[in-house]
Amino acid sequence: MIIAIEGIDGSGKNTQTKLLAKHLSEQGMKVVMLGFPCYSETFFGKEVGHYLNGNFGGLDDVPPKLASMLYAGDRFEKKSSIENALNSGAIIIIDRYVSSNIAHQSAKVADLEKVELQSWIETLEYDVYGLPRPNLNILLDLDASSSSKLVLMKDAREYTSKNKDLHEENSSYLESVASVYRSLAAGSEDWEVVNCLGKDGVRPINEISSEILAVVSKVLNYAQTTI
């Protein structure tokens, strides 16, 4: 099974991926944890880092299809690792997967172009590169304003010396990405949405983690009863 943790920058994907992996491992399950982009591990991952650092120009200077190829290529280089983990019977928990590419790139185009670009990216990643589809996508839903504050609390990144990368510095863009994510999740059986905001602001990490674990446990129990 592949579980993808999705959401805009600062939504806590890395933290929640680690916590979910820890909880499932403690329950005796075999878990493999992955995260994309692989900035220092793959050829394309390094180029994604250059893109996010602004080496290729601003957000509007790089055509969405070209940017999407960098992210897809990064995942393709890890395809064998994903397939080996699946074949070993592991639950793979991934911090950003194909839907991240779809959300970020289609957020750059007009509404009439969104569906076509989303289909194009799915064809690239799932059909051309043959990446396995996720069984469950979990959206950590967060607004761009909260994202901007949380990004500044991140540790230093290996691909940039800036406080915010090309995506993170543009709040209107991140809000568009969040909107695309919500559209992808709406009415889809393989998506679950976890709201990261409560009455008093961003919800505590352990509270979000508990909700994610409940969602995943329900899916795992259902999968076991249908085998």
Q: Is 123 left (phi over 0), alpha (psi -120 to 50) or beta?
A: alpha
Q: 191: which strand partners?
A: 137
Give pLDDT, residue 226.
54
Question: What is the per-residue pLDDT across 39-59, written as a single tens digit (0 to 9) for each?
Answer: 999 999 999 999 999 999 999
Domain that holds residue 79: 2-225
Q: What is the CATH number of the domain that holds 123?
A: 3.40.50.300
**What pTM, to 2 d.p., does this model score?**
0.92
What CA–CA distance (Å, rounded) separates 163 from 180?
A: 25
CA distances from 168 to 59, 83, 152, 171, 180 (A): 11, 31, 10, 7, 16
Question: What is the per-residue pLDDT across 101-148, written as a single tens digit (0 to 9) for each?
Answer: 999 999 999 998 999 999 999 999 999 999 999 999 999 999 888 877
- Please state the domain count of the chain: 1
Task: Tell me the average pLDDT of the chain.
Answer: 92
Q: 195: which strand partners?
A: 141
Residue 12 banded pLDDT, cuts 50, 70, 90: very high
